[in-house]
Structure 1
């Protein structure tokens, strides 16, 4: 079968590799679509970061080279012994986390911060391939009405949904989302799914503002106005109930910490290329906080799939598809240059 195999920095090769078969408790998936995300770009251009170059990962036993791809969906092609509740032909989305089940995080249900966490497609051969094999606990069946191609967006939308949950908001809350890339769009969708109507998306790119405005979002251009001043005027000095940083740049953090109200969070869901120096005085004087967020759990997956089944997510204008053979030049390079927003890889092309 054909697969995108990562050998190291800027070295991703489309190769013929053996087709995997499921062992006990595992499921073979014919991949429909696999999304490219910021983590993949960091691995390709700046890595290896997460992909083990030497000693194998303790949970997967895998090291480089590895088939990339952790945002994917597909059709069950075969099941191993002991799998009785998933059948050949089922449409599925994959929750690509490996967890130890023994550390405190795992024991308390927070396996997304497992001390030995691993990812299918980073620490195990992943979904940028025609077929892949995953453990049963990574599989979520898609209901009728959710196209299997849409299932590839469950993973990034679950990242966004988990971040939205950390904001501790309800349908009476107000929120700011910094960044209108795929995760920022996902946070906006998640907040809307929670009933929020008072949401502003802060984005300097006119192209990205136009894309999310077409979905129905309200935007602010930080190059044209002082966002903290606007929020202070609009809220009578109270600030918003939660802010979310999906931009990953210092100006976003500096703005956001001034916009949240007392005892309220700035939820950080970005990957930061450079160390950030945050003026802590803005946190101290109002007892604001910065809340980290990582990945998701099955609960977030189920919430996103339920919203998808109700037609909540609109991919118009921000999601495109590329062939596996074009994953570098039409995929990674286009995303890095900002010419595309979200790309799904079709392994059959």
Structure 2
């Protein structure tokens, strides 16, 4: 079968590898779509970062390996001892490997497991025609949720988890900084939680246009004094929650200048460079910064339910490519800012 095998910086090979077969407690999945994540880009251009160069404690795998942790597909084979799942079931995959015994795992917060692993970063993943996963990773897709949407459940769950940590409710004012895929996911999640007053702050005209086409209110920080606007809009109270999906100092500084008293800035970005951000407003308002990592199964189920209710739309920001084009039309196009979200179709018409 074809698979996108990662060997190190700028070396991703579309290789012919053996089809995996299910072991006890696992299923074999024919991949429908696999999204290219920002983490995949970091690995391709600057890695290995998260991809292990020695056997991972939970998966036993190491470089080189098949990428892909945002994917959906159809079960084609069942391992021994598997119950509740059948060939033909359509699924989204929650790709976390967890130890089950560290303090976060014992508390139910396995998304911050001390030995956390990801299918497609610490094991052979979904950027291939087939992959094998344990049944603990499976989430059933309703009939009206496509495999295309199913591949977006993982990144949309990252955003939904962050939105939940913002502790917002209908009637609140929220702000999203950055209109990339996670920023778009935050907007969908906040809307799904009943918020109407959501502003997306994005300097890129292309990205602003994409999220405006979905119905979002946007602010251009190069043309608008964003803190002054929010102060006037909220009668001086500030936003009830702000979400940083941009990961750069100007966005964080502006977000902290907008957040209301004792309200959070939720950080869901990857910070490539150290931030130099004044914290005076944080102190004077007793506001706070809250980190957000990944998701749990509850986030997956919430996103799938919203998708089944028609609350997510891929128009204008999601592109599909065959696996043979993954480097040029995928990684290079995303890195150059020519595309926003790319789903790799490894099986074409057979899926």
The separation in 2 between residues aligned to 1:2 and 1:234, in whole angstroms, is 53
The separation in 2 between residues aligned to 1:61 and 1:346, in whole angstroms, is 27
If the length of structure 2 is used for normalisation, what is the TM-score? Answer: 0.98
CA-CA distance at 1:324 after TM superposition: 0.4
**CA contact under 8 A between 1:60 and 1:124: conserved in structure 2?**
yes
Q: Which runs of 4+ in 1 moved over 4 A?
A: none
CA-CA distance at 1:278 after TM superposition: 1.7
User: Counterpart of 2:115 in 1: which secondary structure?
Assistant: coil
CA-CA distance at 1:149 after TM superposition: 2.1
User: Counterpart of 1:344 in 2: which secondary structure?
Assistant: strand
Aligned ranges for residues 259-338 of structure 1 at < 5 Å?
259-338=258-337
If the length of structure 1 is used for normalisation, what is the TM-score? Answer: 0.99
CA-CA distance at 1:172 after TM superposition: 1.6
User: Counterpart of 2:285 in 1: which secondary structure?
Assistant: coil
Please name the residue that 2:229 is paired with: 230
Please name the residue that 2:44 is paired with: 44
Please name the residue that 2:17 is paired with: 17
What is the aligned length? 348
The separation in 2 between residues aligned to 1:149 and 1:179, in whole angstroms, is 23
User: Counterpart of 1:285 in 2: which secondary structure?
Assistant: helix
The separation in 2 between residues aligned to 1:322 and 1:250, in whole angstroms, is 33
Please name the residue that 1:7 is paired with: 7
**CA contact under 8 A between 1:74 and 1:149: conserved in structure 2?**
no
The separation in 2 between residues aligned to 1:97 and 1:7, in whole angstroms, is 22
The separation in 2 between residues aligned to 1:70 and 1:215, in whole angstroms, is 26
User: Counterpart of 1:15 in 2: which secondary structure?
Assistant: strand
Give the gaps of 5 or more residues in structure 2. none
Please name the residue that 1:110 is paired with: 109
- After superposition, the C-alpha distances for 1:208-263 in whole angstroms (9 at most, x for unaligned) are 11111111100000000110111112212210000001111110000000100011
Give the gaps of 5 or more residues in structure 1. none
Please name the residue that 1:90 is paired with: 89
The separation in 1 between residues aligned to 2:302 and 2:64, in whole angstroms, is 34
The separation in 1 between residues aligned to 2:223 and 2:294, in whole angstroms, is 33
RMSD (Å) for aligned C-alpha atoms: 0.6
Please name the residue that 2:32 is paired with: 32
The separation in 1 between residues aligned to 2:143 and 2:107, in whole angstroms, is 32
